[in-house]
Amino acid sequence: MNVRVTSPDELLERDDALADLHGALARARAGHGELAVVTGDPGAGKTALIREFVRHAAGPPLVLRGACDPLTVPRPLGPLIDAFGSVDRAVAGRLAAGMARVEAFSIALSLIDGTYGEGRPIVFVVEDVHWADEATLDVLTFLGRRVADLPALLIITFRDDEVGPQHPLRVRLGDLASAIRSRTQLRPLSRDAVARLAASSGIDPDSLHRATGGNPFFVTEALAAADAVLPDSVRDAVLARAARLGAGPRAVLDAAAVIPGRIEQWLLRAVVGGVDLGPALQECLDRGLLVPDPDDGIDAERGISFRHELARVAIRESIGAAQLRELHGRALAALSRPPHGAVEPARLAFHAAEADDPEAVLEHAPVAAAEAARIGAHHEAARHLEGALRFRYLLDPQRRVQLLLRLGDELSTIGRYESAIAALDEAAADAAAIGDVDGHGEAVIGMVSPFGTLGRIGEASDRVELAAGLVAGRPASRASALIETSRVSLHMLARQFGPAEHHGSQAIALAREIDDARVLATALVQSGTALVMSGDDDGLTRIRDGIDLASRAGEDGIVAVGYAQIGSGFGELRRYDVAVPALEAGIAFASARELISSETYMTSWLARCQLEQGEWDHAAASASALVRRSRCVGVSRFVALVTLGWVRGRRGDPDVGALLDEALALARATRHIQRLWPAAVCRAEMAWLAGRLDDEMGLVAEAAALAADLDYRPACEELAFWQRVGGQSSTSPLESPLTPFGLSAIGQHEAAARRWAVLGCPYEEAMARFLDGGDTGVLAAHQTFDRLGALPMRERTAAALRDAGVVVPRGPSAATRDNPFALTAREMEVLTLIATGATNRDIAAGLHISAKTVDHHVSHVLAKLDVRSRAEAAVTAERLGLTR
Amino acid sequence: MPKYVIERDLPGAGQLSGDELCAVSQKSVEVLSTMAPRAQWLQSYVTDDKLFCVYLADDPETVREHAAKGGFPVTAVHRVRNIIDPSTAEVA
């Protein structure tokens, strides 16, 4: 019996899910966009749900759809290209042809910001996001962070069983948590629902429900197969239906099975070959084994696809290996000569690999890799190159070296450092074998950065010297310039700023000679940083020149590094007037371009600067958010952990130990003084507050020894300070201190306090006054600790004053007691300045804090005074005599 | 979620009227509703010059955020490690 099953007009047991989506759309129409997530097992009906939702969507909205490819290596931005295919073919073409990453973001934004749709709200659906390429994930995150103020609804669907904790999508979902208000998980159908579907089939609903588990797709396939015996699996159900086809239609089905996603009819015709496509295809369509694409844009011939990816996979798995290769070969041949337009290299590479056609793979995979890299889909680029290198024995050695070099670069970019080193080792060996000195040099130099990141500094240095030996006496080349920039990096890590700057200048000269903007910009930023760290502010100009050059050359990554270097470099020197604005500008820049790791690093440094300046609320909020983000790893995580630990500890808040233990582990993994030093002094300070400084003296000594080896004075002096506090002699000699810690280490606390005041570090200043002793000093320190909310030190200074017979006000700080609106001392300062008519910029400059911090204080003040504007605040303040 | 006991210095707290206590509680609840589910207020003990408040919260910073938004003082934040009562004295 032939049961004809069409897609049910009525969806069962999906009312709640539909209501959620319609609710989300209503919110979006009101201007509050969001991201809705729909998940479920394969066959649970995610696509059917979306289709049903779209049919009844109020408005109606402009609906744009894209799906991620089940290709072995997906096309970069595949779903975005699909979505544009239905509204702006020209843009779709440009995306498919490949472009720079930052351009793609602004194009993606135009999809949801009202550029299309003539005022209608937008619904942008991306299906099967578990298969998404890296560039698509970046774009979705980018859009997700901006959708809240747009009349747009983003819907993503995926199979939750394929998105484990390590899946790249899982990490992005964490980033997007605040944009997601609707999460729908589609459950299997109940027995009753299955019974309704099976109503006129004569099949026992209980057996059907048991056999299918309620999976909607399985149920409909089993019903369509209409066999006396129920199929054991979806696969069997699909194959049972396919078994009834004649030779022609079956050939069409087999041909379709090798083409993932949407199948162009001209392509299908070519792959099927001899069979007359028309009637054979119609049979497949009539039986519902293939379906036409619902909304197929502007194409003359409608594309077709399988009813479900599960069906395609089932058919594909029933085809013999040799036949599969043959079919893929035909697909490749046809796609290589498309009737119009161009075909994305990723598709060509896919069929070439499946056809087991080495020459074709070697032709298309490297092109696909280059395109993916350009758009920022580095995971995909690496996989394409690995695919090509499967046939390395067929490559001429020169080309092999080049592919290995590129693979090493991509692997380094995605954080697979050991694999990168392995690829570059191979490239080096191959290049050496054919006497390609430049290639050999590039391979060796390429290993320096991954070794450095892994903390294997010795091996990194070895590689630099090896490469230098190779290129000695040869004309300037990229390799020779990279050798110099690597030397700068290694010297910087060792805090040897003189040699760093020297090599930096060499790097600049070589980069100019070979006219390589990227290397030149990097060299300017690095050597500028070295100058700054050795006390020469001309370095700042050099860094800025590097940023400008990188900006003009479209090297966003290097621009971000430039801002980060200014921020962290000046931050380490406690020069907040330069560091803070650079960090704020850099964060805005990186955020706009989804340069997540730069943004995270700079945010962690800004939090640290805020901590040191006494802006503890901001520092804690920022650091705490970073620590909770799984994407905050490595050095960014270290800085965030230490900053949060410091604030909590100084406040006397609980939950410090775990933070600092994790920080120490991270510091040890890098083996860099810039991490070991803060880890040691933060732990020492916390231990001292708890009266157990002895516990940390071993670590302090270890860090002090490392600092002494490198002769890095700021670290030597701060560690020596703690050694003295701990009653030990300092590792480093302390004749002429450079830093306030150095002054305190030799007992000159008063001088140290004055220096801290100039730098703008209130807590350290108060500590120095406390250590100096004397009633006036300790009282001043007490008041600062009180204002900052530093409970442990507030109590310690209060006790000292009581012992000395000095009267100390108890209870809430004198500052807040006389102030009925509970403004903090800082907020009072801001209010006083507001009352004088100062602008936010004036206030920021006057108090040496950032404009953003001033904004926060102003909004707190307005809220506490319950007024709407600064003018009202000023009036209220005057009237109540608060600012006298 | 961790549990915290928060000390808030507020001279004269013991003299607050029913209306004032109601207003303060309403403010607290209102702020918490904007922060859900990151913090939960369990109970507060109002003494002569201090309040002791028991909260569930993600971290100490969340506790302070609630306090800043509501205009409540925070003198100290403590982490509750264990809660015991006479039944703890019984051998299991």
**pLDDT tens across B9-42, in order?**
998 999 999 999 999 999 999 999 989 889 999 9
A693 pLDDT above the threshold of 90: yes
**Helices A345-354, A321-336: inter-axial angle, 10-degree rounding:** 150
User: What are the beta bridge partners of residue A67?
Assistant: A127
The alpha carbon of residue A153 is apart from the nearest alpha carbon of chain B, in Å, by 23
Would you call B75 an interface residue with chain A, using a CB distance cutoff of 8 Å?
A: yes
Q: Are residues A839 and A710 in the same domain?
A: no
CB within 8 A of A424, min separation 6: which ones?
A404, A405, A408, A443, A444, A446, A447
Determine, yes or no, domain membership for A426: no
DSSP codes of every residue in A596-660: HHHHHHHHHHHHHHHHHTT-HHHHHHHHHHHHH-TT--HHHHHHHHHHHHHHHHHHT-S--HHHH
- Among B59, B65, B75, select the one facing A655 at the smallest CB separation: B59
Token digits of residue A728: 């030990």
Question: Which residue from B minimizes the CA distance to A623?
Answer: B61
Determine, yes or no, domain membership for B52: yes
The alpha carbon of residue B9 is apart from the nearest alpha carbon of chain A, in Å, by 6
Q: Are residues A803 and A840 in the same domain?
A: no
pLDDT given for residue A753 in this prediction: 97
pLDDT given for residue A735 in this prediction: 83
For the segment A497-555, what is each residue's pLDDT rounded down to a tens digit?
A: 889 989 999 999 999 999 999 999 999 999 999 999 888 889 999 999 999 999 999 88
DSSP codes of every residue in A821-846: T---HHHHHHHHHHHTT--HHHHHHH
Q: Are residues A859 and A725 in the same domain?
A: no
- Among A653, A822, A860, select the one facing B60 at the smallest CB separation: A653
**Helices A576-592, A596-612: inter-axial angle, 10-degree rounding:** 150
Provide the 8-state DSSP code for A120.
-
Would you call B59 an interface residue with chain A, using a CB distance cutoff of 8 Å?
A: yes
How far is the C-alpha of B5 from the C-alpha of B53, rounded, in Å? Answer: 5
Per the listing, tokens 């306030």 go with A740
How far is the C-alpha of A531 from the C-alpha of A537, rounded, in Å? Answer: 7
Tell me the pLDDT band of A143, cut-offs 50, 70 and 90: very high
Name which of A406, A848, A382 is nearest A615 in CA terms.
A848
User: What are the beta bridge partners of residue A334?
Assistant: none
pLDDT given for residue A884 in this prediction: 56
Q: Do B11 and A791 touch (CB under 8 A)?
A: no
pLDDT given for residue A390 in this prediction: 94
A822 pLDDT above the threshold of 70: no
Name which of A692, A698, A695, A742 is nearest A720 in CA terms.
A742
Query: Do A878 and A869 form a contact (C-beta atoms < 8 A)?
Result: no
For the segment A188-241, what is each residue's pLDDT rounded down to a tens digit?
A: 999 999 999 988 888 889 989 998 999 999 998 888 877 778 888 888 889 988
In chain B, residues with a C-beta closer than 8 Å to the C-beta of A653 are 60, 77
Domain count for chain A, please give it: 4
Per 3-state DSSP, chain B is made up of helix, strand and coil in percentages (nearest 5) of 40, 30, 30
Q: Say if residue A518 is exposed, middle or buried (CB neighbours under 10 Å; 0-12, 13-18, 19+).
A: middle
Start-end of H helices in A162-233: 168-175, 191-197, 205-212, 216-225
Domain count for chain B, please give it: 1
Would you call B76 an interface residue with chain A, using a CB distance cutoff of 8 Å?
A: yes
Measuring CA to CA, how many Å separate B51 from each of B3, B67, B78? 16, 13, 13
- CATH number, residue A25: 3.40.50.300
**Share above pLDDT 90 across residues of chain A, in percent, rounded to a whole number:** 63
In chain A, residues with a C-beta closer than 8 Å to the C-beta of B60 are 620, 648, 651, 653-655
How far is the C-alpha of A82 from the C-alpha of A64, rounded, in Å? Answer: 8
A814 pLDDT above the threshold of 70: no
Determine, yes or no, domain membership for B91: no
Asked, as a colleague might, if the bond just before A475 is cis with ω within 30 of 0, I would say no
- Among B11, B68, B73, select the one facing A860 at the smallest CB separation: B68
pLDDT given for residue A69 in this prediction: 87
Q: Do A655 and B64 touch (CB under 8 A)?
A: no
Amino acid in position A212: T
Per the listing, tokens 């696909």 go with A368
User: What are the beta bridge partners of residue B54?
Assistant: B5, B43
Would you call B78 an interface residue with chain A, using a CB distance cutoff of 8 Å?
A: yes
Query: Do A821 and A877 form a contact (C-beta atoms < 8 A)?
Result: no
Q: Are residues A863 and A727 in the same domain?
A: no
Domain that holds residue A366: 321-395
pLDDT given for residue A2 in this prediction: 33
Measuring CA to CA, how many Å separate A582 from each of A132, A231, A402, A569, B31? 34, 65, 38, 11, 34
pLDDT given for residue A5 in this prediction: 42
Determine, yes or no, domain membership for A65: yes
Query: Do A790 and A651 form a contact (C-beta atoms < 8 A)?
Result: yes
pLDDT given for residue A6 in this prediction: 43
Q: Are residues A869 and A725 in the same domain?
A: no
pLDDT given for residue A616 in this prediction: 95
* Other CB atoms within 10 Å distance of the CB of residue A118: 7
Question: What is the 3-state secondary structure of A385-440?
Answer: HHHHHCCHHHCCHHHHHHHHHHHHHHHHHCCCHHHHHHHHHHHHHHHHHHCCHHHH
Provide the 8-state DSSP code for B54.
E
Q: Do B10 and A812 touch (CB under 8 A)?
A: yes
In chain B, residues with a C-beta closer than 8 Å to the C-beta of A624 are 59, 61
Question: Which residue from A minimizes the CA distance to B2?
Answer: A655
Determine, yes or no, domain membership for B45: yes
Determine, yes or no, domain membership for A428: no
Mean pLDDT of A134-144: 93
Mean pLDDT of A723-745: 91
User: What are the beta bridge partners of residue A38?
Assistant: A157, A184
**Helices B60-70, B18-35: inter-axial angle, 10-degree rounding:** 130
pLDDT given for residue A637 in this prediction: 94
Determine, yes or no, domain membership for A63: yes
Domain that holds residue B18: 3-84
Measuring CA to CA, how many Å separate A11 from each of A15, A53, A639, A853? 8, 10, 52, 52
Mean pLDDT of A856-874: 82
The alpha carbon of residue B20 is apart from the nearest alpha carbon of chain A, in Å, by 15
How far is the C-alpha of A708 from the C-alpha of A14, rounded, in Å? Answer: 68
- CATH number, residue A859: 1.10.10.10
Tell me the pLDDT band of A10, cut-offs 50, 70 and 90: low
Query: Do A627 and B62 form a contact (C-beta atoms < 8 A)?
Result: no
**Share above pLDDT 70 across residues of chain A, in percent, rounded to a whole number:** 95
The alpha carbon of residue B69 is apart from the nearest alpha carbon of chain A, in Å, by 8
A287 pLDDT above the threshold of 70: yes
Asked, as a colleague might, if the bond just before A60 is cis with ω within 30 of 0, I would say yes
Q: Are residues A661 and A766 in the same domain?
A: yes
pLDDT given for residue A708 in this prediction: 93
The alpha carbon of residue A812 is apart from the nearest alpha carbon of chain B, in Å, by 6
Determine, yes or no, domain membership for B38: yes
Q: Are residues A67 and A165 in the same domain?
A: yes
A300 pLDDT above the threshold of 60: no
Determine, yes or no, domain membership for B33: yes
Token digits of residue A122: 């937008």
Q: Are residues A42 and A90 in the same domain?
A: yes
Q: Are residues A792 and A851 in the same domain?
A: no
CB pairs under 8 A between A and B: 46
Q: Are residues A752 and A768 in the same domain?
A: yes
Determine, yes or no, domain membership for A255: no
Which is more confidently placed, A635 or A679?
A679
A879 pLDDT above the threshold of 80: no
Question: Which residue from A minimizes the CA distance to B78?
Answer: A654
How far is the C-alpha of A488 from the C-alpha of A497, rounded, in Å? Answer: 9
**Which of A622, A653, A659, A788 would best serve as a mutation to test chain B binding (most B beta carbons within 10 A)?**
A653
Q: Do B60 and A789 touch (CB under 8 A)?
A: no
Per the listing, tokens 């299991």 go with B92
pLDDT given for residue A881 in this prediction: 67
Determine, yes or no, domain membership for A151: yes
Q: Are residues A828 and A811 in the same domain?
A: no
In chain A, residues with a C-beta closer than 8 Å to the C-beta of B10 are 812
Tell me the pLDDT band of A675, cut-offs 50, 70 and 90: very high
Q: Say if residue A812 is exposed, middle or buried (CB neighbours under 10 Å; 0-12, 13-18, 19+).
A: buried
**Averaged confidence pLDDT in chain A:** 90
Determine, yes or no, domain membership for B76: yes
Mean pLDDT of B51-58: 96
Determine, yes or no, domain membership for B89: no
Determine, yes or no, domain membership for A611: no
- Among A655, A821, A822, select the one facing B60 at the smallest CB separation: A655
Would you call B37 an interface residue with chain A, using a CB distance cutoff of 8 Å?
A: no
Amino acid in position A719: L
A370 pLDDT above the threshold of 60: yes
- CATH number, residue B72: 3.30.70.3090
Measuring CA to CA, how many Å separate A148 from each of A36, A112, A181, A373? 12, 11, 11, 30
Query: Do A19 and A49 form a contact (C-beta atoms < 8 A)?
Result: no
- Among A651, A652, A816, select the one facing B73 at the smallest CB separation: A816
In chain A, residues with a C-beta closer than 8 Å to the C-beta of B1 are none
Mean pLDDT of A307-318: 92
pLDDT given for residue A277 in this prediction: 87
Burial A671-702 (b: 16+ CB within 10 A, else e): ebbbbbbbbbbbbbbbbbbeeebeebbebbbe
Determine, yes or no, domain membership for A450: no
Query: Do A703 and A673 form a contact (C-beta atoms < 8 A)?
Result: yes
Q: Are residues A743 and A756 in the same domain?
A: yes
Of A121-125, A495-499, B45-49, least confident by mean pLDDT is A495-499
- Among B65, B76, B77, select the one facing A621 at the smallest CB separation: B65
Tell me the pLDDT band of A619, cut-offs 50, 70 and 90: very high
How far is the C-alpha of A164 from the C-alpha of A180, rounded, in Å? Answer: 19
Determine, yes or no, domain membership for B90: no
**Which region, left, alpha or beta, applies to residue A554 given φ > 0 means left and ψ of -120 to 50 means alpha?**
left
pLDDT given for residue A880 in this prediction: 65
How far is the C-alpha of A350 from the C-alpha of A388, rounded, in Å? Answer: 11
**Which of A611, A647, A655 would best serve as a mutation to test chain B binding (most B beta carbons within 10 A)?**
A655
- Among B2, B60, B71, select the one facing A822 at the smallest CB separation: B71
pLDDT given for residue A819 in this prediction: 53
Of A447-456, A815-824, A874-883, least confident by mean pLDDT is A815-824
Of A74-83, A93-102, A390-399, least confident by mean pLDDT is A93-102
Q: Do B79 and A864 touch (CB under 8 A)?
A: no
pLDDT given for residue A711 in this prediction: 86
Name which of B87, B82, B84, B76 is nearest B8 in CA terms.
B76
Query: Do A344 and A96 form a contact (C-beta atoms < 8 A)?
Result: yes
φ, ψ for residue A653 (rounded to 5)? -75, 155
For the segment A753-768, what is each residue's pLDDT rounded down to a tens digit?
A: 999 999 999 999 999 9
CB within 8 A of A520, min separation 6: which ones?
A508, A511, A512, A546, A549
